[in-house]
Amino acid sequence: MKKFERVEVGYIDTPLEKMNNLSEHFGDVELYIKRDDMTGLALGGNKTRKLDYIVKYALDNGYTTLLTYGAAQSNHGRLTIAAAAKFGLKGILVSDGKIPEQAQGNLILDRMMDGDVVFIDNENVENYPEHKAKVVKEMIAQLEAKGEKVLELPFGGSSPLGAYGYMQCIKEIIEQLKEKNLKIDYLFCGYGSLGTYAGLKLGALYYEADLEIVAVPVFPKPSSLEACVNLINELAEDLEISIRVKPEDLNVIGGMEDNIYAQPMYGKSSPESRQSMYLLAQKEAIITDAVYTGKILNAMLKNITKPEYKGKKVLFLHTGGAPSIFSTTFMDDIQDEIWNGKVIQK
């Protein structure tokens, strides 16, 4: 297999540990967690594994600016800006909509690291995708006129180069399981911009990991199985390995239309995802967000009560995202649930 080179954007070899209290709470199932919220860079998260390889490519090819896309509370945006700052580059996050009245959550961290956050107004705009592409093209041209060289990163850093980071994560997980003499039956992960799942799936096939990877969508209308297959096969081709997958090889749960775990919308929590977030915090003192990792957690907790999971060992991939909790997008939802009437005044 051909290999890509990396720089150390964040930490790898993140902990893999048993969740004893949560396992006891559910009974008849052993629950484990892979702590990719502990990758170190700017409060951590899974995108650092992708950025290890993307930043190496940028540095080797003379890029001075990393530009990417995401929601206002994008963890990928935060970590792209962080990686840029660490390696002397400029970081830019392009987001849809209007500038929020107040900086909160990830946006505060973006600006602390001197990242540029650019909002493109999407109200009353005909053919917004075309308009957005035009605005970004003009912005890049202006930067290049000043001598910058801009590398555009896709949403979530989900290129074949980025997905390779999670292909290598599977190798890391296999080694940790061997050290613990542990056999995992299921691994739950997110299915959003596709890079994390695509890398894990190809890695599981290449390194012959004896576990089932269960993908949980974070978009109510998830990216197509064909798009994921294309990313996996493109990475395999780039690596000069013979593995190829088909849509029927993928295990994506909850439906490809109106996905039951991704409601009500991307970037918005559900009561179920918040309750799952609270439960993990109460049982293990591990903090997730409520809109990405929290939805994946909720899907896992719903599924492990099914008969086929009885007696199985299940691994949850924690991809980070806790800084986004500290924004009104989420705080407004949880105010009544854990604060109003819940705090003691003496």
Same domain, 318 and 170: yes
Whether the pLDDT of residue 164 is over 80: the answer is yes
Top pLDDT among 158 and 281 is at 281
Whether the pLDDT of residue 329 is over 80: the answer is no
Assess contact for 52 and 82: CB atoms under 8 A: no
pLDDT in tens, 24-68: 999 999 999 999 999 999 999 999 999 999 999 999 999 999 999
Same domain, 175 and 302: yes
**Catalytic-role residue among 23, 74, 223, 270:** 74
Q: Give the closest residue to 288 by CA, choosing from 273, 271, 266, 270.
A: 273
pLDDT of residue 49: 96
Q: Give me the percent of the chain exceeding a pLDDT of 90.
A: 90
pLDDT in tens, 301-314: 999 999 999 999 99
Instruction: Pinpoint the alpha helices (H) of 239-270.
Output: none
pLDDT of residue 247: 98
Same domain, 260 and 175: yes
Three-state DSSP class for 187?
strand
117, 138, 156 — which closes off a domain?
156
Average pLDDT rounded to a whole number, residues 132-140? 97
pLDDT in tens, 224-283: 999 999 999 999 999 999 999 999 999 999 999 999 999 999 888 999 999 999 999 999
Same domain, 88 and 63: yes
As given in the structure block, the two tokens for residue 326 are: 């500290």
Same domain, 99 and 162: no
Same domain, 210 and 330: yes
Q: How confident is the model at residue 331 (pLDDT cuts 50, 70, 90)?
A: confident
Whether the pLDDT of residue 158 is over 90: the answer is no
Same domain, 80 and 41: no
Same domain, 84 and 103: yes
Count CB neighbours of 34 within 10 A: 24
pLDDT of residue 155: 86
156, 178, 207 — which closes off a domain?
156
Whether the pLDDT of residue 328 is over 90: the answer is no
Same domain, 122 and 207: no
Number of separate domains in the chain: 2
Top pLDDT among 76 and 267 is at 76
Which H or E element spans position 215?
Answer: strand 212-217
Same domain, 125 and 248: no
156, 178, 212 — which closes off a domain?
156
Domain interval for residue 146:
47-156
Q: The CATH number of the domain where 200 resides is what?
A: 3.40.50.1100
What value does the mean pLDDT of the chain take? Answer: 95
Q: Give the DSSP letter of residue 172.
A: H
pLDDT of residue 345: 85
State the residue for tokens 């400029």.
Answer: 90
pLDDT in tens, 83-129: 999 999 999 999 999 999 999 999 999 999 999 999 999 998 989 99
Q: Give the closest residue to 266 by CA, choosing from 294, 293, 292, 229.
A: 292
Count CB neighbours of 209 within 10 A: 19
Same domain, 187 and 306: yes
Annotated active-site residue 74? The verdict is yes
Count CB neighbours of 54 within 10 A: 28
